[in-house]
Structure 1
């Protein structure tokens, strides 16, 4: 190998010629590859393989995994890298091919990587069985992934030996609950396990019963049938299949056979119950009753006399007197009970609803002036009500659609506000004063000495408000002259402030310095 010099000499009758060329002789590539020693070619789940490459005399490489897509190159390596790092994310058999080549020829290397999925096991729920049963455990097992062996374990009222075969068949004879566990053992992946239970029942005595009553008529109230093994299914005329409530009106008169099946139990116990329903004249009552909590007491009526009324708000059970206020707001039944000639307890129910009375609060009186235009009473009195969403109705002299129209004269007017919600009403009285106040009057000039600690400004009518300097009580017009400088100070007296009747007057107040004293001759 290496560079070799080749000489060609050509000769004929005329002479000879020579040509010299240099040729580089190289070896064929020797390929040698593998995987890092820390990894096995048999892996569990997603795994990363670092390939090693000890090939010699190769100018290029190409890695290939024909027929597979569940892999990718990592850390910047590619299928042309000498020693790529590859992640195999999907279980399966991967045929790995490496081609190493140079100008002479190509050499090939091949290996196989088996990526297996971890085992997953799911044991189905086992139905309860009666008395005794034989089951093949594998029929209730769903398993995937790679595993080597299955280990079964049974715990319960008695020991049940488990054969070592893959699909053990077991017979259970002792009643009780058994825990069945299975574990899939894998040499390459974490083990997987699951559990389920088997309930072995024995037949139980079944007794059906109805309430102890003298007789059942078509007009009697529904009765609750009972079973010593609750949770089963009822069937027959007039009976609810899940609750066991028997309605004589639905069943009709006659002798009825009611069936019961303990379908929730493996032994499926069953029994029947005979019920006799006598015909009776139905009791007719109102379809419903609706009242306000402040309504007067009502008299309930029934088509047959001699019974009693029971329920909220009943003050006289024989006469059927119902007091909505005593019952209070809400929805509830009012029931009429009568024992007929066949000794049947007949019942009829009136669905009752008592609606709450709304509440309303308004100021006792409001004040407007003669000169004001028409007034919307809702806006003037601003009622506070509960619940919201009702309607207002104002009544009284001069009121039209909630507005007061006065004639420009002073006086006092009385109204009533009615607030109605859901047919129930509350009332509140209201008074409106139409005022024509006289303008305020005050001495235009008032004076005080600077040394006075307190002085009162004078104006009428009382009840107004003073504003200006040095005021200690604006309502009473109290000022502190000693805090003011000498001179003239301006004040304003206002009555009915903040209303259209507001009126004011300005007052000049002189504060005299004590040293300012003048006297005439010979004084």
Structure 2
């Protein structure tokens, strides 16, 4: 009833007719029929017709009758908890799974299910057609595996026993260690830390697990014991320091194994003796090495005779009858192995120097005396500088007097006269050498004389220019730091490349003085001629006239290197400064004005001057009359048609009458 609603629309329904296609009850007139059964699966149509006083209305619907579902479940399963998720499939597929560890789509994750049997439910279909089935998945835990504690061994150890639990698993090395069964082999593995894996499978469930442990293979201590030599003298010496320290000594002559005390005489005197050194390090690894101890007789040495040297002789080397390998000791020794003595370290006086050879019981010495003779402190004075263009000058500041000068630029060694022109620019080392007349000891001191190059003053500018126009000046100087320009018109500039223009014409001397950063100067100069644009002007001998009108023109122009072009306005032209004439200006019917122009051009520009010439026409008298003949008295009209712009008229009518009227 909840799926069916009747709407009568104002008039009661009087009849109902149901049609059930394929049902055991094919029709019904009840409003809400019951007991309709379908025995065969398929799609069926139901039709309902309801009628009231206004007529019938029919509706229809379709529905499906499903057949019985045969569900086939997968067999029960047994898995390890470590296995990856896997799909469980029932037939027909498309249903929904539920239970521990399973997703609705049938994906089973052993890690999400508890250990042991897990019952899974599969549902397929909906409503009365839904069917269900179940299956069991047993999840087995992994075995508990222990590879044992980490271990360490010396590389000399033959093998290490590996103890993994439960027994029966297999060992393998991850990073190159050598394994034989359940034994780790340090010599074959080498030094380092090795990771070992113990893999065990449960024989009942087949589930496997793995554990790891580390084996540290330590090297044997590296022992260093130098061979050594002792002299055959009585008394105790100590064997050379071994590395690492802390080991024990054994062999002939060893008095104390721990300290290395050794007696050459008890070992046997002059000769060579083997001695062993043994050490166990912090890792418990033990190693031994052998060294040779030699006993020799004491040597004889002679440091040589006493010597005398000058304080400023520089480093002196001793050459005595001494064996190599000893040390020179004393004030002034700057290289104890080479026997180098520096008198500047000791200063003047007598100084003992010792040559010591050997060590310990083999030490022997000899002494000589060194007398250092001083000369008066010699100085060349402070450094000097000059310009290359300077005159020769004397070196200054040297003491004591009487020394000799040398070096590039010195032209008189006795006076120290220095010529910059000889030395050229650069830094020059100048020597001042003073020799003591009594001892013959001499000393040389040096100073630096810096000759600064003379800057090159050079510039280019046009040989000629125009007033009011900026000159194109190119500064080609070299080595300048300060520039001083003088343009010859009272103007100056300190710009490297200045801009300048001249207001007046004329010839100007432009000078440039260049000063370097060191105060050295050079000056150069160039001339420039400044012109102006031309000033055209002319004067005609007449401004106007009557025909035939001939005009002469007088040139009054001013300008430099000027080109002329005359246009006389009458079709004639000329390029002469003073054109020949006269020039004819023909008349017209009225006053005719001619424009005369003069164009002057030079490298500073073009200018024009114009004037006009007016030609008055000649008058031509003419008139017309209204009647040629007539009866007296007759009135005749006169029409003045004269040309030539007349300004005065005189009529004579032939009858004794006259008139000055223009009409």
TM norm structure 1: 0.46
TM norm structure 2: 0.38
| Structure possessing the higher relative contact order (Cα contacts under 8 Å, 6 or more residues apart) | 1
Whose strand fraction is larger, Structure 1's or Structure 2's? 1
